């Protein structure tokens, strides 16, 4: 894209999009011919398979031509005018104009023409094409579809489930939510709007760290004929946005306390919602948490986010009858699921991981005391 000033050209450079992104699609122009723009004001958006990136104007001026985004630098007040329409060449003027017309071809009349076929009672009648809308997939949605299919084709996927009693965790939140806000300035798992998607995943993040530290193979990855064990815990959190799924990463989650985790998730969630999250904030990640429960999912099978080896799925908290001390009582219960690469992780490690999750959620004191 170019910007023009009395014949010289100035490039509106597409910003660096990260090593993993080689191309993008021009999603939309934010300005029209005749619009005035300031320095660093967004004039177009480039859609990649991960994020949408703004292209900023390098100088102030007036947009002159669509598509190329030619722009004339600011002149003296009152001298800026939109460009006149381009004149047609003599060759174009002499070309005959095309006029679309519809011709009617009469079929010979015959009295022996067969009647139109009758639909049988069992033959499906499809709705007319006029009632369908074909919309191209966004690059982000194409990327999600490709990665999910690659995951199915690459990994030996197995899923293990467990059920967790959320009573003590919910009581912990209820008892200390006010003190937590007063101390750290952020809420403990109870937030509005888009950020609410993380309401169950926050504690799960700390819990997952504990589980990964107990079962380090869950945090490892296969690379050719080798197994890479990671001595860090970078947890990805799946976030649904209007444009598709993005996965921001909580770096070094094993070294963060509850307040630090809350603040980092707040920051990344807002960026994901606003569409301003960067490539670096989504790169890497050694393990993923997906929280379908916020949308009402009772049970599902999450798909691994390549090249990771496992993903933890959280689900809705539902009151169910449970046997406690010989009596049937209602308890807030959640199903959790671990999908893992069976080439690397055996069922034993997967079950131990989920048991650790269950233990520390049902008795948070174990997490606080590191036992």
Between the CA atoms of 120, 124, 126 and 127, what dihedral angle is there, to the nearest 10 degrees? 80
Terminal Cα-to-Cα distance of the chain (whole angstroms): 59
Decide if 184 is catalytic: no
Please count the CA atoms within 13 angstroms of the CA of 9 that sit on its side-chain side: 8
pLDDT at 308: 92
- Protein fold of 2-63: OB fold (Dihydrolipoamide Acetyltransferase, E2P) (2.40.50)
Burial 1-39 (b: 16+ CB within 10 A, else e): bebbbeeeebebeeeebeeebeebeebebbbebeeebee
pLDDT at 330: 96
231 DSSP assignment: S
**Element (DSSP H or E) covering residue 55:** strand 52-56
Tokens of 91: 């060759």
Query: Of the candidates 269, 280, 278, 296, which has an alpha carbon nearest to the alpha carbon of residue 186?
Result: 269
| Neighbouring-strand partners of residue 338 | 160, 312
Cα–Cα distance between 344 and 224 in angstroms, integer? 12
Whose tokens are 């947009």? That residue is 63
- pLDDT 10s digit of each residue in the chain, 371 long? 444 444 455 667 777 766 566 677 777 888 888 788 888 888 888 877 667 778 888 878 877 664 454 444 444 444 444 444 445 455 444 444 443 333 333 444 555 555 655 555 555 566 676 766 777 777 877 887 788 778 877 788 889 899 989 888 788 778 888 888 888 887 775 332 222 223 334 455 666 777 787 888 888 888 888 889 888 888 898 887 877 788 899 888 888 877 788 888 889 988 988 888 888 898 888 899 888 888 888 999 999 988 899 998 988 889 999 999 999 999 999 998 999 999 889 999 999 888 888 888 888 777 666 66
293 DSSP assignment: G
Q: Which of 184, 342, 363, 370 is catalytic?
A: 342
Decide if 119 is catalytic: no
pLDDT at 100: 39
CATH number of 144-368: 3.30.559.10
Domain ranges of the chain: 2-63, 144-368
pLDDT at 214: 80
- Cβ atoms of 274 and 116 closer than 8 Å: no
19 DSSP assignment: T
For helices 258-274 and 167-184, give the axis angle rounded to 10 degrees: 80
The residues near 105 (Cβ < 8 Å, ≥ 6 apart) are none
Query: How far does Cα 255 stand from its chain's mean position?
Result: 26
Q: Which of 40, 175, 178, 346 is catalytic?
A: 346
Question: In this structure, are strands 36-37 and 61-65 parallel, antiparallel, or unpaired?
Answer: antiparallel
Burial 122-156 (b: 16+ CB within 10 A, else e): eeeeeeeeeeeeeeeebbbeebbeebeeebeeebe
Cα–Cα distance between 258 and 263 in angstroms, integer? 9
């Amino acid at each position: 894209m170019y910007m023009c000033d009395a014949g010289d050209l100035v490039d509106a450079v597409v910003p660096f999009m990260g090593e993993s992104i080689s191309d993008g699609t021009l999603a939309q122009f934010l300005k029209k011919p005749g619009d005035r723009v300031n320095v660093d004001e967004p004039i177009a958006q480039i859609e990649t398979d991960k994020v949408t990136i703004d292209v900023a104007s390098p100088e102030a001026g007036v947009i002159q031509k669509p598509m190329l985004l030619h722009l004339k630098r600011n002149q003296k007040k009152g001298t800026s005018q939109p460009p006149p329409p381009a004149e047609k060449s003599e060759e174009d003027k002499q070309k005959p104009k095309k006029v679309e017309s519809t011709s009617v071809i009469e079929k010979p009349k015959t009295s022996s023409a067969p009647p139109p076929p009758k639909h049988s009672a069992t033959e499906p009648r499809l709705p007319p094409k006029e009632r369908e809308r074909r919309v191209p997939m966004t690059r982000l949605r194409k990327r999600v579809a490709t990665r999910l299919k690659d995951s199915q084709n690459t990994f030996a996927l197995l899923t293990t489930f467990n059920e967790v009693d959320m009573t003590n965790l919910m009581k912990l939140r209820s008892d200390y939510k006010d003190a937590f806000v007063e101390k750290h300035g952020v809420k403990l798992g109870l937030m509005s709007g888009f950020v609410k998607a993380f309401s169950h995943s926050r504690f799960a993040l700390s819990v997952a760290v504990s589980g990964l530290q107990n079962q380090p193979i869950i945090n490892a990855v296969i690379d050719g004929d080798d197994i890479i064990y990671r001595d860090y815990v970078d947890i990805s959190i799946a976030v649904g946005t209007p444009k598709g799924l993005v996965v921001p990463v909580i770096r070094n989650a094993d070294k963060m306390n509850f307040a630090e985790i809350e603040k980092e998730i707040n920051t990344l969630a807002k960026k994901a919602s606003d569409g301003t999250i960067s490539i670096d904030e989504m790169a890497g990640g050694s393990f993923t948490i997906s929280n379908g429960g916020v949308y009402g999912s009772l049970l599902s099978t999450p798909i691994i986010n390549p090249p990771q080896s496992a993903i933890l799925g959280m689900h809705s908290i539902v009151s169910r009858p449970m046997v406690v001390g010989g009596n049937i009582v209602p308890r807030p219960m959640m199903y959790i699921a671990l999908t893992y690469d069976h080439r690397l992780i055996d069922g034993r490690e997967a079950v131990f991981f989920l048991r650790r999750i269950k233990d520390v959620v049902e008795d948070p004191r174990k997490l606080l005391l590191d036992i």
